[in-house]
C-alpha cells in the first residue's frame, strides 16, 4: 500500500519553508504532521443552514414568561422549545370557541388554531419539554375524566331508578290506575348520556377523532412525541382520506364527511384540530421529499407555522432545583382559565356567524394594516423562494391568531381584583398583544428559512456535519466510509451520502484518499487520511 500525494511534485517546488528532513521547499500553505507528510490548508465549508433568531423574552406573555424560563433553565434546553409548545397548546385549548376579524369592517374571520413542531436532534430533549408544558392540560383532562366517570355513575343510578318507576307505572296502567300522560311525563325524564370533555389525543383513527370532535366541536389537540409517525401514517395504503381530513382541520372552520364501505357514515359539522410534536431534521427532510414526489407541494408542511429549529445551547450546566412554584401555579391557573372562559364576555355578536368573534382595538388596527401591507409587498416581490413564499402566505392568519392567543393569555392571567384591566381586554385585541405577535412572527420567519434550507440541501449538510466531526478529532487519522456509517451520525447513515461527502472533503483538502495497489482479489475499501490542519478548524475560524 502506498500513499498518493495530493499535490504533484511540481507544486512542491514553489518557494516557501524548507523541509530539512526531505531537503525540499514546502509552500507556505503546507505544514508537516508528525510523519513529515505535507498537507495543504483546508478550504472553508459554507454552513448549510442559515442562522436563526433567538427567543426575545419581551414577546412572551407576562403571565407565562417566568414558567417558560424556569422549565428551560431546569432542562437546559433552548427556550424556543418551551414557548413554541405553550403557543400551540394554548391555541388548541382555545380552539374554535372564539375567532378574530383582523380588519375593521370586513368579515374575514380567523380561528386561532395552530400547528407546531419542535425540530432538533434526538438528544435535544424535545419530548421532556412537550411533556412538561402539556402537564396543565393533562391535569385538566384528568379532572374532566373523573367528572365524566362520576356523571356516568349518577346517570346509571338514575336510569335504574327510572327503569323501576317505568315498570311500576306500566303495571298501574294495566290495572287502570294511571293514564298515558303520566307515562309520557316519565319518559321525558330519561337521563341523556353524559358527554366526555376532551382536550388531547395521541393516536386515533379519523373515525374516532370524528366522534370525539362531534362531542367537542370547539376542537382538541393531537400531541405526538415523534411527528414522523403521524405524518407517515397519512401515506399508508387505505388511509388516503386521512390526509384530506387533517388538511381540512387546519383552519378550524371546516366540516368533513367520513364514508367507509361496510361502516356507518360520519358527519363532522365543525372540524378543528391542533397538531403538535417533535421531529428530527433528517426525518422532516425525508418526509418532505417523499411528499413532493407523491403529492406535489400541497401545503401540508406550511401549515406547521409554529415550527422552531434552534441551535443547541453552547454551555450546559448541571441543574437540580425545585420548579418555581409561584410561576407554575400561575401557569396552571391560566390554562384552567383558558379552558373555561366564556367567549361571550369578550366578543361581538353576528347572527350570520356561528363562531363569536373579536376585533383589534382602534389603537392596534393601524399597526395590523401596516404590517399586512408590508407582508403583501414582500409576497409579490418575486424575490422569495417558492416554498418560503407559500409559507409566509399563511402568516396572514398566523399574526392575527397569535395576537388573539396572547390577548387571551393576558386576559386569563387577570384576577377579580384587576377589574379595570378586565374591562380593557373586553374592548378588543390590544396593541401590546399585536406587537408581540408581529415580533414572534418575524422570529418564526428566520426559523422557516432554516427549515426549508434543511429540506432542500441535505448533501451540503452532510458535508458540513462530517467536517465538524473531523475538526473535533472524533474520527481516527485513517478511516473508511464503513466506519462512519457504523456511528449512525445525523445525516451520515446512508452509504451513498457518506461517499459523496467524503469525495467533496477530499476536493476541499480536508482528506486525502489512500490508493491501494491491486492484489488480484476483491479491491479493498478506500481509506482516507485526515488533514491534521483541520483540527479545531471551526474554533480557529
pLDDT at 17: 42
Best CA proximity match to 87, nearest among 119, 61, 106 = 61
Q: How far is CA 468 from CA 49, 465, 471, 489, 537, in A?
A: 14, 5, 5, 11, 8
Q: How far is CA 159 from CA 152, 155, 180, 189, 405, in A?
A: 10, 6, 20, 10, 42
Three-state SS letters, 19-49: ECCCCEEEECCEEECCCCCEEECCCCCCCCC
What are the cell numbers at 155? 346517570
Q: Of all helices (H) and strands (E), which one includes residue 154?
A: helix 135-174
Cβ-based neighbours of 354, under 8 Å, separated by 6 or more: none
Instruction: Say how many Å lie between the first and final Cα of the chain, rounded.
Output: 35
Which domains occur in the chain, in start order?
Answer: 11-48+458-540 (1.10.10), 49-456 (3.40.50)
Strand segments, DSSP code E, in 145-209 are 200-201
Quick one: 379 exposed, middle or buried, by C-beta within 10 A (0-12, 13-18, 19+)? Answer: middle
At what angle are helices 386-393 and 395-412 packed, to 10 degrees? Answer: 40
Distance separating alpha carbons of residues 460 and 45, to the nearest angstrom: 9
Cβ-based neighbours of 88, under 8 Å, separated by 6 or more: 114, 115, 116, 221, 274, 276, 306
Distance separating alpha carbons of residues 447 and 54, to the nearest angstrom: 10
pLDDT at 13: 33
pTM: 0.80
Q: Which residues of the chain have pLDDT under 70?
A: 1-38, 177-178, 183-184, 186, 259-263, 289, 291-298, 348-351, 456, 458, 516-521, 541
Q: b/e for 481-504, b at 16 or more Cβ within 10 A?
A: beebbeeebebbeeeebbeebbeb
DSSP assigned state of 487: H
Helices in 313-385 by DSSP H: which ranges? 325-340, 365-379
pLDDT at 202: 87
DSSP reduced 3-state for 274: strand
Amino acid at each position: 500500500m502506498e500513499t498518493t500525494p495530493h499535490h504533484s511534485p511540481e507544486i512542491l517546488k514553489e518557494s516557501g519553508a524548507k523541509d530539512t528532513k526531505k531537503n525540499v521547499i514546502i509552500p507556505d500553505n503546507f505544514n508537516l504532521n508528525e510523519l513529515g507528510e505535507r498537507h495543504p490548508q483546508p478550504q472553508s465549508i459554507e454552513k448549510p443552514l442559515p442562522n436563526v433568531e433567538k427567543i426575545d423574552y419581551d414577546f412572551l406573555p407576562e403571565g407565562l414568561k417566568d414558567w417558560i424560563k424556569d422549565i428551560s433553565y431546569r432542562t437546559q434546553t433552548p427556550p424556543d422549545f418551551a414557548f413554541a409548545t405553550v403557543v400551540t397548546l394554548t391555541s388548541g385549548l382555545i380552539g374554535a370557541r372564539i375567532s378574530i376579524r383582523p380588519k375593521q369592517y370586513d368579515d374575514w374571520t380567523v380561528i386561532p388554531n395552530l400547528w407546531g413542531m419542535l425540530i432538533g436532534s434526538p438528544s435535544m430533549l424535545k419530548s421532556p419539554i412537550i411533556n412538561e408544558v402539556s402537564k396543565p392540560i393533562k391535569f385538566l383532562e384528568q379532572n374532566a375524566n373523573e367528572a365524566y366517570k362520576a356523571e356516568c355513575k349518577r346517570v346509571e343510578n338514575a336510569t335504574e331508578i327510572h327503569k323501576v318507576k317505568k315498570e311500576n307505572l306500566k303495571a298501574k296502567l294495566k290495572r287502570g290506575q294511571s293514564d298515558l300522560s303520566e307515562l309520557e311525563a316519565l319518559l321525558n325524564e330519561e337521563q341523556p348520556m353524559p358527554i366526555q370533555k376532551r382536550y388531547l389525543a395521541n393516536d386515533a383513527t379519523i373515525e374516532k377523532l370524528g366522534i370525539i370532535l362531534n362531542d367537542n366541536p370547539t376542537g382538541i389537540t393531537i400531541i405526538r412525541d415523534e411527528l414522523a409517525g403521524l405524518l407517515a401514517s397519512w401515506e399508508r395504503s387505505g388511509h388516503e382520506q386521512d390526509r384530506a381530513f387533517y388538511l381540512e382541520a387546519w383552519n378550524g372552520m371546516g366540516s368533513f364527511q367520513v364514508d367507509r364501505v361496510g361502516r356507518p357514515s360520519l358527519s363532522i359539522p365543525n372540524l378543528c384540530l391542533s397538531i403538535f410534536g417533535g421531529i428530527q431534521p433528517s426525518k422532516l427532510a425525508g418526509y418532505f421529499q417523499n411528499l413532493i414526489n407523491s403529492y406535489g407541494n400541497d401545503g401540508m408542511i406550511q401549515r406547521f407555522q409554529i415550527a422552531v429549529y434552534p441551535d443547541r445551547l453552547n454551555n450546559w450546566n448541571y441543574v437540580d432545583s425545585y420548579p418555581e412554584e409561584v410561576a407554575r401555579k400561575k401557569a396552571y391557573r391560566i390554562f384552567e382559565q383558558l379552558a373555561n372562559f366564556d367567549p361571550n364576555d369578550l366578543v361581538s355578536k353576528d347572527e350570520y356567524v356561528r363562531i363569536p368573534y373579536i376585533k383589534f382595538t382602534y389603537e392596534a388596527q393601524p399597526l395590523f394594516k401596516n404590517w399586512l401591507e408590508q407582508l403583501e409587498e414582500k409576497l409579490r416581490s418575486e424575490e422569495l423562494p417558492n416554498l418560503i413564499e407559500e409559507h409566509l402566505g399563511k402568516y396572514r392568519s398566523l399574526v392575527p391568531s397569535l395576537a388573539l392567543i396572547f390577548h387571551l393569555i393576558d386576559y386569563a392571567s387577570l384576577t377579580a381584583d384587576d377589574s379595570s384591566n378586565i374591562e380593557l381586554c373586553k374592548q378588543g385585541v390590544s396593541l401590546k398583544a399585536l406587537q408581540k405577535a408581529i415580533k414572534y412572527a418575524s422570529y418564526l420567519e428566520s426559523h422557516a428559512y432554516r427549515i426549508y434550507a434543511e429540506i432542500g440541501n441535505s448533501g451540503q449538510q452532510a458535508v458540513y456535519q462530517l467536517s465538524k466531526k473531523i475538526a473535533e478529532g472524533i474520527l481516527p487519522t485513517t478511516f473508511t466510509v464503513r466506519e462512519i456509517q457504523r456511528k449512525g451520525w445525523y445525516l451520515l447513515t446512508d452509504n451513498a451520502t457518506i461517499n459523496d461527502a467524503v469525495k467533496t472533503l477530499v476536493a476541499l483538502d480536508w482528506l486525502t484518499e489512500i490508493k491501494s495497489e491491486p492484489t488480484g482479489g476483491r479491491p479493498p475499501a478506500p481509506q482516507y487520511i485526515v488533514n491534521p490542519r483541520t483540527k479545531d478548524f471551526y474554533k480557529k475560524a
